[in-house]
A = this chain, B = another copy of it.
């Protein structure tokens, strides 16, 4: 895995401790945190960091294509350092967002789904999102 500093430099954006920290949080977790979660995670080690900076940082990281924005419908966005398209599951009980691993719908992984859709709709498409909604195994068990 490439060094974070290098990746920012390649995107021609200034390399700051805040940006490296935010991106590091996203690379380390599989939880798809939202801005508030990222902020809480960083607060102990970066007491001066402001929420506004986290907002600005995820925005620019998303724009340069280092991370992707997810919208599972809570109101508020989540962020994911994995930029390859992959489906997500949202637990309506606990609010956790997870990746769907080893997704077997091949068309979703490569570009054939997008190409097929461009044909069918006449749009120029740039991305796809597939979201599943339900209850996660933990929440089923605890019968909350």
**A residues apposed to B, CB below 8 Å:** 69, 71-73, 75, 77, 87, 89, 91-92, 98, 100, 102-105, 107, 113-114, 116-118, 120-137, 140
Contact: A126 with B116, CB < 8 Å? no
From the candidates B75, B120, B125, B133, name the one contacting A102 in the complex (CB within 8 A). Answer: B120
Contact: B124 with A132, CB < 8 Å? no
- A125 to B135 Cα, complex, angstroms: 6
Contact: B123 with A127, CB < 8 Å? no
- A75 to B69 Cα, complex, angstroms: 12
* Chain B residues whose CB sits within 8 angstroms of the CB of A128 once the complex forms: 130-133
From the candidates B103, B114, B137, name the one contacting A132 in the complex (CB within 8 A). Answer: B114
